[in-house]
Structure formats: structure tokens, C-alpha cells
Structure 1
Amino acid sequence: MQRSITNLRILVTVATLTALTAVVSADDKQAAAIQKDRNLIAGTWQIEVLEINGNRSAGEDVKQLTVVNGADGTWSLRSEGNEVGRGTTTIDPSQRPKTIDIQPTSGQDQGKTYRGIYELGKTSRKLCFAPAGKDRPADFTTNAENQHIFVKFKRLQATQEKEVP
């Protein structure tokens, strides 16, 4: 009887450790996937296309806008080299499409969260997000009804910076 109780305790301990290892392993994989995408996003990106409510913004004005991304999720929006916005992002590359939450930390939008989706290539990326407080887009379309904002970027420069200066 004593031996059965001891065997049962060992079995419960092994099962618990196995379950904990699986949870930690899943968390480690998620953290690695996030950091991989953050590293790919890090750098300076020029806006090529900007569509708001289905309306495309003028080409030359848009090309004056760049975003500098840090590998820690920080970002800085710049117009002709001058910072006009700053914030952080939270990403989840395990979702399909990949998801991003954008949180400005300065300006009139400070404290708001814009829910969006993203697609990432080596030299280009796409981002589509909804106005603050609205549902996350399911695809990369924008029109007057959904009020989504679509942005297409091209990479200007990769960076090893962890944080946006």
C-alpha cells in the first residue's frame, strides 16, 4: 500500500513537471517569435502608400513620412526628419493575420490603442489598423464604412538599435 502511494506521488510529480515544461516551452516559443518579428521590423521605414477611409493620400506628401522602429517595440513617426509622434507596439505573430496594437505615448492620441494587423517582408511591410476603440481589421482593406487606415512601407535602413533614439 505504501509503495502504491509513493508511486502515485511520483506519477503526479512527473505529470506536473511535464505540464509546466510544456507551458514554459510554449511561452518561450511565443517570445522568440515576437522578438524575431521585432528584429525584422527594427529600422527606418518610408511610407509609400497611405489610405485613410479608402482615400489614398498624395504621393509626395506621404513620402516625407518615415517611421523609425526599435527592436523593443518603440517607434517614432517623423515628417521631413522631425518627430511628430512616438509610442510603443505589442505584436502577436502567431495570429493569422499577424496582429499589432499601437499605443502612442505622446500627442493628442496618447493613451489610446489602435488595433491592427501587419504583414512583414524583408524590404516591405503592410499595416492596417482601426480607429481607437474599434474592432481589429480582418484584412488590409480600407473604405469609408470601416474607417481603417492602410499603410505600405519600404525599408530605408535596418538597425541594430534596441530602442528608438
Structure 2
Amino acid sequence: MRRDFKELNRRRFPLVLLWLGITAAAFGNAGFAVAADPLQGAWVATKVISDGKPAENLVGHRLTFDGGNFQIQSSGGQIIFAGTTSIDPSAKPASIDFVNTQGDAAGATWKGIYVLEGETLSICDNSPNLDAVRPTAFEAASGSGHALFIFERAKP
């Protein structure tokens, strides 16, 4: 009986490997990386400073990451911007780029940095002035051309 069980497992093992290979190919490496990406999901802006001034009109906007895509909605639910993102968590500080494909910024790329601390996501980027360089600190002083966004993870 024990010998039959070993023989059965020996025959099944290649089938299990084949199944794992087909599954990995179907989902691709990005499918597995997305599940592990802590930025995925929806975030709500709680504080925004743009070029040294509070931007209260942006508080309540919703930023959603879905795979390599992003979408920004107004507090009323209207899609304002959308496109793709690329992140480099190994950069110091971690970098993020937003390549806009929809909205008034279509064709523009915002270059920024981010930090995730628990359920708070901070992003500083050059969205107010595309000629400004990528920020190196989480500040948006007057004349910097940077915006600092503080987000909290959206509640389901």
C-alpha cells in the first residue's frame, strides 16, 4: 500500500508543476506583485499643501491604485485624472511617477516621492510645476513647484 501511494505521488508531481507553471503564466509576475503592493486600494486626501499654500479644495479627493493604474476622483466622485504609475520602493526616498492619460494633465508626468506609514500615505510631487525637479523631501515650500499630499486609507 505504501509503495502504491509513493508511485501515485510520483506521477502527480509533474502535473502539479505543470499546473503551477500555467497559473503563473496566466497571472504573470505583475499579478503576484500587485497583491503584495501595499499602495493598492483607495486613499482619501486629508491635507494638501501646494507650492507653500494650503489647498483645501483638494482635501477629500480620492486616489486609487489598481495594479499599475491610478485614478483621482473629486470628493463628489468625478474622475479628474487617470493614468499609469511606476514606483521604485528601493530609491531613497521611494519614488513614484504618475503618467497622466486622462484629464487636464493628459500627456504630463508628475514625478514624486512617497512614504507609507501604517494607514497614512504621504506623496510629494511636482504636479504644480512640471518643470520642477523630483522632490527630495516631504515639503512643498513656496516657489518649490511641489505639492505635498497626506492620504489616509479609505474605509470600505
What's the TM-score, normalizing by structure 2?
0.71
SS at match of 2:38: helix
The aligned residue for residue 120 of structure 1 is 116
Task: Give the drift of 1:111.
Answer: 1.3
The aligned residue for residue 98 of structure 1 is 94
Task: Give the drift of 1:92.
Answer: 0.4
The aligned residue for residue 52 of structure 1 is 50
Contact 2:46 2:60 in 1 (8 A): no
The aligned residue for residue 132 of structure 2 is 134
CA distance in 2, matches of 1:134, 1:69: 24
Contact 1:113 1:133 in 2 (8 A): no
Identity over the aligned pairs, expressed in percent?
Answer: 26
Q: Which has the higher contact order (CA 8 A, sep 6+)?
A: 1
Residues 62 and 109 of structure 1, relative CA distance in 2, 3 Å threshold? closer
Unaligned 5+ segments in structure 1 are 1-30, 159-165
Residue type matched to 1:49 in 2? K
Residues 134 and 63 of structure 1, relative CA distance in 2, 3 Å threshold? closer
Counting only pairs closer than 5 Å after superposition, residues 7-156 of structure 1 correspond to structure 2 as 35=33, 39-58=37-56, 61-70=57-66, 72-79=67-74, 80-130=76-126, 131-156=129-154
What's the TM-score, normalizing by structure 1?
0.67
Unaligned 5+ segments in structure 2 are 1-28
